[in-house]
Structure 1
Amino acid sequence: MPGKGRIIFHIDMNSFYASVEMAYDPALRGKPVAVAGNVKERKGIVVTCSYEARAHGVKTTMPVWEAKRNCPDLIVLPPNFDRYRSSSRAMFSILREYTDLVEPVSIDEGYMDMTDTPYSRNAYETAKEIQSRLQKELLLPSSIGIAPNKFLAKMASDMKKPLGITILRKREVPDILWPLPVGEMHGVGKKTAEKLNGLSIDTIGDLAAADEHSLKRLLGINGPRLKNKANGIHHAPVDPERIYEFKSVGNSSTLSHDSADEDELLAVFRKLSASVSDRLQRKEVMASKLFIMIRYADWKTITRSITLKNPIDQKNEIYNEAEHLFFKHWNKNPIRLLGITGTDLVEKEQAYKQLDLFSFTEDAKDEPIQQMMEKLNEKYGSKLIRKGAKVKKDESKTSGTSFNKDFFQDEKKS
């Protein structure tokens, strides 16, 4: 690697859940293995699978019955999250032996800034050592991308799986990235790719050369950001604290007079829902949790929340959840202020990470999985539902977190 500039690693564990199961039970090694929700149900869904299973046509999000049809010898296991948490902690513990600048992205991937460490002069050899230690000490395979920024490191780690190590230099972007379809670029989902295709932006190279003003009109502030990334430019630092950030988008309104009129109060909620929806969409994020605030005429104030099954950003969805909370908790006394806040935000293009084992196996109880998948793909623009957050639709008077966030909050305290 060059002596100047940053040296960023992206560590991506290969088929993490399945790999952990094989590490726990050596008899599973070399066999087609899948981890799935509702294993005994026809509607069970494959969450992850070994490369041996993939060789027989088994894929993530595939119904278990179809996976077994493709691979009759498939070994299907239920998830064991205590086991995955333990392996993830051990994985991040190894990474932090090399640098304090480790940014977890999820339970099975993270960034490392190796710039100001003794290992910077031998980045490739260090990556080989890390990969070897993860394999020998934890029996877990990984792929590692090495690059001058986080975006390029992420793109690099995806290039060789399993057990790959890829160096991607900025000067190599035109030859390596630009010929790729724009939909293969990290941060570009199906819907965004379709919009870009509408401007005849079909490759990452087309995006790199696109008119910035046209991109901004099409995609808002994200347009110029994607253009920069397509040119290999990404200045975001590796931030160990980023995983713990819980931002919010909210709005409140003080009524012109104290009111107990249902129609008047619901009209306020409709306006607030539209306002919060607009702000979420401008920021290109979605809310996984919703709070309402009720302040009565006597200034007594209560807040109530609901943790959502799936992230939302549409005004009708926000209004429906707020209305449900309101009628459940309003004591019919006159009100002077109402508020709505969305929290536990996820980037819109990454929202599909929330729609994982925890949520879609529940959804599958209510409708055929193929119909559900079509709805998710249409709504969120993602053809792949990946490991992510545990989201239960429970009401709470305190803030709640997703599976990944719970895990990292616990880790932070330890």
Structure 2
Amino acid sequence: MKLKGGGDLSKSRVIFHIDMNSFYASVEMAYNPKLKGKPIAIAGNVEKRKGIIVTSSYEARAKGVKTTMPVWQAMKLCPNLMLIPPNFSRYKAASQALFDLLKGYTPLVEPVSIDEGYVDATFYLKEGHPVQLAKEIQQRLLDEMDLPCSIGIAPNKFLAKMASDMQKPKGLTILRKRDLKDKLWPLDIREMHGIGKRTVEKWKKLHIMTIGDLANADKKLLEQHFGVNGLRLHERANGNDLREVDPDSIYEFKSIGHSSTLSSDTINEVKIRNELKRLAGLVERRLKRKKVCAYGIQIMVRYANWKTITKSHKVENPIQDEQDLYKESLYLFNIAWKGDYIRLLGISTYDLIEQEHAYKQLDLFNYKEDEKKYKLLETVGQLKEKYGHTIFPQANAQKVEINEQNETLRTSFQRDFLDEQ
């Protein structure tokens, strides 16, 4: 089997990266065809014109509307912009239909977020041509779901991901190793999948301005400044990626949690809350080490008589930091606890998602607030890793006292849609 222009893929894998175009906006247009061809945007607090743009149609993007842009600024750039509140159940249903369609070709489908995933088409193709199959998938998504996508075709996951980003919307791009010098290496280092926006300047200070610079950089320099991740990115920039398409990857970490037996049975609320706070901090550290966030949180309460109960629920946006974990666990604890003496407490998280994909879905309706919060928490986390978890004892104590005065726990949904009614 050969690709157009040469290049034998019969001895390697054929990997597709399917990336839906402007997914939320496209789903809304499929639901209401009258929106097609018009500048639309998904945003929170649309009635009061507050909040942040989650995503927008390409017609809106042509006017300068961008994801995470304040709504007032988007309206200034595009006065006829149509604002639509998010409908997550609708998007999740469309996502399920998308992956069901892909699994109709091969079981080797790996979802990585609500609107993108990998397909290993190597054995499905046999005598077929990868471009023909990709075109068929694109057309079926349009015909059956009215949803556009871009597809990258490559011998591995990294190159397939980079390829799908090269042509949007409705693009179809082949990226082979022999194409690296012309297609991949000239790209700015910020375009490199796996390099976050916050580290771009750090790379550029080392005079690594393009993906080609990274591919040809000294390995010792990379390891010195970026550790094992630097070496991994060097391999990717050279087109090497041995990761397999793994349908079970979303279940790799079924849960992450921590529990602790108290020094003595207690009904003292301050001690209980302090322990929940400590456990939330430990769970945060484990989540960050695994680079995952959680949609689900559960608490376990074991009483002095050894009776054990659990309470759990899911949150709208994935969480990872100590403060959010503490608030959600305290909310569940207040539901579970009936005033009996407690022997053991535990906090666990489930329904986990990789950190890099979770950030795309973090409370975009309060993006600027969350951005500042994330940077602060990231710095605090780094200091705790370096100097120990008790580096901020007074600050931690103060937070617990503040929370004891505030029994009402607020989720991002409540802040955005309920508090301002």
Checking the alignment, whether the CA contact within 8 Å between 1:307 and 1:393 is kept in structure 2 is no
Aligned equivalent of 1:238:
245
CA offset at residue 173 of structure 1?
A: 2.7
Percent of aligned positions that are identical:
56
Q: Is the 8 A contact 2:310 2:336 kept in 1?
A: no
Confirm or deny: 8 A CA contact 2:43 2:84 kept in the other structure. yes
Q: Is the 8 A contact 2:321 2:377 kept in 1?
A: no
Structure 1 residue 251, shift from structure 2 partner: 1.8
Q: CA deviation at 1:246?
A: 5.5
Structure-2 change in CA distance of 1:172 and 1:317 (3 Å): same
What corresponds to 1:106 in structure 2? 113
Classify the secondary structure of the residue corresponding to 1:4. Answer: coil
Distance 2:218 2:281 in 1: 31
TM-score, normalised to structure 2's length? 0.75
| TM-score, normalised with respect to structure 1 | 0.76
Q: What SS does the aligned partner of 1:42 have?
A: coil
C-alpha change, 1:294 and 1:112, in structure 2 (3 Å) is same
Partner of 2:265: 258
Q: Give the deviation of 1:114 after TM superposition.
A: 0.8
1:41 aligned counterpart, secondary structure: coil
Aligned to 2:293: 286
Check if 1:372 corresponds to 2:379: no
How far is 1:265 from its partner? 4.6
**Is the 1:127–1:165 Cα contact (8 Å) retained in structure 2?**
yes
**Superimposed CA distance per residue, residues 315-350 of structure 1 (whole angstroms, 9 cap, x where no aligned partner):** 455445545554664444433322222333333333
Matched, 1:352 2:359: yes
Q: Which amino acid aligns with 1:111?
A: Y
Aligned-residue offset at 1:248: 2.0
1:155, distance to aligned residue in structure 2 (A): 0.9
Shift of 1:56: 1.2
Q: CA RMSD in A?
A: 3.4
Q: What is the letter of the counterpart of residue 248 of structure 2?
A: E
Look up the equivalent residue of 1:372 and give its one-letter code: E
Q: Confirm or deny that 1:205 pairs with 2:202.
A: no
**SS state of the match for residue 65, structure 2?**
coil
2:124 is the alignment partner of 1:127: no
C-alpha distance 104-294 of structure 1, shift in aligned 2 (>3 A): same
In the TM superposition, residue 285 of structure 1 has moved relative to its aligned partner by 2.3
How far the C-alpha of 1:166 sits from its partner, in A, is: 0.6
Question: What is the correspondence of 1:385-400 to structure 2 with a 5 Å cutoff?
Answer: 393=411
Instruction: Please say which of residues 230-239 and 148-157 is displaced more in the overlay.
Output: 230-239
The letter of the residue matching 1:60 is T
Matched, 1:8 2:15: yes
Closer, same or farther in 2 for the Cα pair 1:286/1:92, shift >3 Å? closer
Contact 1:119 1:126 in 2 (8 A): no
Letter in 2 for 1:134: L
User: How far is 1:213 from its partner?
Assistant: 6.5
Give the C-alpha shift of residue 266 in structure 1: 5.0
Distance verdict in 2 for CA 1:271–1:217, change over 3 Å: farther
Partners of 2:29 and 2:356 in 1: CA distance: 31
Q: 2: distance between equivalents of 1:135 and 1:234?
A: 31
Amino acid in the other structure paired with 1:117? Y
Higher mean alpha-carbon deviation, 114-123 vs 239-248, is at 239-248
Cα distance in 2, alignment partners of residues 28 and 360 from structure 1: 23
- Give the aligned partner of residue 191 of structure 2: 184
Q: Distance in 2 between matches of 1:39 and 1:88?
A: 24
1:169 equivalent in alignment to 2:176: yes
Structure 1 stretch 9-18 or stretch 160-169: which is displaced more? 9-18
**Out of 225, 228, 234, which is 1:227 matched to?**
234
1:298 corresponding residue in structure 2: 305
